[in-house]
Amino acid sequence: MDHLTRLHGLPVYQFPALGKGSGPMPAAEDVAWRICSSADEEASEFWTEDIPDGAYEKQWGRFLKTVDLARVQALVLGGGAYSSEGPPDWAVNELIAAADRLTGLKALYLADLTPEESEMSWIVQGDVTPILDAFPRLRELGVRGSTIGMAADEEGTGLRLTPLRHEHLRVLRLENGGLPGEVARAVAASDLPALEHLDLWLGEEFYGCTTTLADLAPILDGDRLPALRRLGLQNSYMQDEIAAAVAGAPVVAQLTALHLGLGTLSDTGATALLSGQPLTHLEELDLHRHYLSEPVMQRIREALEPAGVVVNLDEQEEIEEDSGRYVAVGE
């Protein structure tokens, strides 16, 4: 996984470290501002524990004083705000404290870290509910991180969400090596009338995934997400079972895009998907990074591409003798 390059349609711009700026900075509303420790400014070669103490705090303080916060539309929090040592309490609390100044914020991405900085399972997240409460007009939230890190056994650590109502959220992405069932159930129980794009990475049991098909059932029913048009249930160790459940899910009829890639999808799941309800109304079916055979891939193309569906079958994987099938992002 690489650093984000765009968020909410805006190019990501690294807020420069003190003395590292080259020329004037862009207008506040023209970019998605990436804030991280100065040690992490230009490269991905620093593990999170190598970041000097206080580096992120200094960058955040300078950002608050330098940029016209009322015009900022998108923020990306990177190295220094998130680590394997514990939840990002300081960074989250400071973000919430600035909510009355970040009045134009529409998009937020938490923990923009590459594997060179921190493995996915070592990014310790916290409770994202207060962030959604503090920014009631937020349109897009992306969260990268899992529950396994060094502080995962401490009380209050790990990705959490309390069911809530949010009037304006249109995009929700939870990128995980192991999605807790409590979080999946909270998403399903939330009242999100404007949500158009939901992307859940489920991951592996070994890395903390406790999400079951029963947890996803309210999402697949479609009743609670009337505006949903793009659904991703990806990076799962039970990708075949998910594909079979999707094959008969009422929500599919309202979708324009369906993403079931990055996981352990095999011919079994793909055949179940093809045998279910019609998918020819979709604009896009993304199954990339899969374990499908050539004949099944051809069946998918022949069934959908003549109807104008854009099918992504890139990254065909081979089953390994010792490890079998595995998800793209676990550790």
Average pLDDT over every residue of 45-63: 70
- Check residue 86 and give its pLDDT: 67
Average pLDDT over every residue of 98-118: 94
Contact of 19 with 119, CB cutoff 8 Å? no
- Check residue 262 and give its pLDDT: 98
What are 211-268's pLDDT values in tens digits? 999 999 999 999 999 999 999 999 999 999 999 999 999 999 999 999 999 999 999 9
**Strands laid side by side in the 257-259 sheet:** 6-7, 10-14, 32-35, 74-77, 107-110, 140-144, 171-175, 197-203, 230-236, 257-259, 284-286, 310-312
**Lowest-pLDDT choice from 16-25, 119-128, 260-269:** 16-25
Q: Could you give the CA distance from residue 191 to residue 70 in angstroms, rounded to a whole number?
A: 27
- Check residue 18 and give its pLDDT: 73
* Nearest alpha carbon to residue 30 among 77, 73, 76: 73
Element containing residue 11 per DSSP (H, E): strand 10-14
| The model's pTM | 0.93
Decide if pLDDT at 22 tops 90. no
Average pLDDT over every residue of 109-127: 89
Enumerate the β-bridge partners of residue 90. Answer: none
Decide if pLDDT at 302 tops 80. yes
C-alpha torsion sign, points 40, 35, 7, 92: positive
DSSP 130-191: HHHHH-TT--EEEEE-BS-STTTTSTT-S-B----B-SS--EEEEE-SB--HHHHHHHHHSB
Contact of 47 with 19, CB cutoff 8 Å? no
- Check residue 154 and give its pLDDT: 55
* Nearest alpha carbon to residue 225 among 264, 198, 204, 185: 198
Q: What is the mean pLDDT of the chain?
A: 90
Distance, CA of 266 to chain centre? 23
- Identity of the residue numbered 309: V
- Check residue 24 and give its pLDDT: 87
Decide if pLDDT at 314 tops 60. yes
Q: Could you give the CA distance from residue 219 to residue 224 in angstroms, rounded to a whole number?
A: 7
- In percent, the amount of the chain with pLDDT more than 70 equals 89
Decide if pLDDT at 150 tops 60. no
- Check residue 151 and give its pLDDT: 43
Decide if pLDDT at 47 tops 50. no
Contact of 46 with 79, CB cutoff 8 Å? yes
Under the banding of pLDDT at 50, 70 and 90, the label for residue 38 is: low
Q: Which carries the bigger pLDDT value, residue 1 or residue 287?
A: 287
Contact of 80 with 46, CB cutoff 8 Å? no
Decide if pLDDT at 52 tops 70. no
What are 81-91's pLDDT values in tens digits? 886 666 788 89
Contact of 270 with 292, CB cutoff 8 Å? yes
- Check residue 205 and give its pLDDT: 92
Distance, CA of 118 to chain centre? 16
What are 170-224's pLDDT values in tens digits? 999 999 999 999 999 999 999 999 999 999 999 999 998 999 999 999 999 999 9
How far lies 20's CA from each of 13, 15, 68, 109, 124, in Å? 14, 10, 20, 24, 29
* Token pair of 43 as six digits: 């490269």
Contact of 285 with 253, CB cutoff 8 Å? no
Average pLDDT over every residue of 140-161: 72
Q: Could you give the CA distance from residue 115 to residue 44 in angstroms, rounded to a whole number?
A: 8
Under the banding of pLDDT at 50, 70 and 90, the label for residue 155 is: low
- In percent, the amount of the chain with pLDDT more than 90 equals 75
- Check residue 312 and give its pLDDT: 98
Under the banding of pLDDT at 50, 70 and 90, the label for residue 320 is: confident
Alpha helices in 24-113 (DSSP H): 55-66, 89-97
- Check residue 62 and give its pLDDT: 94
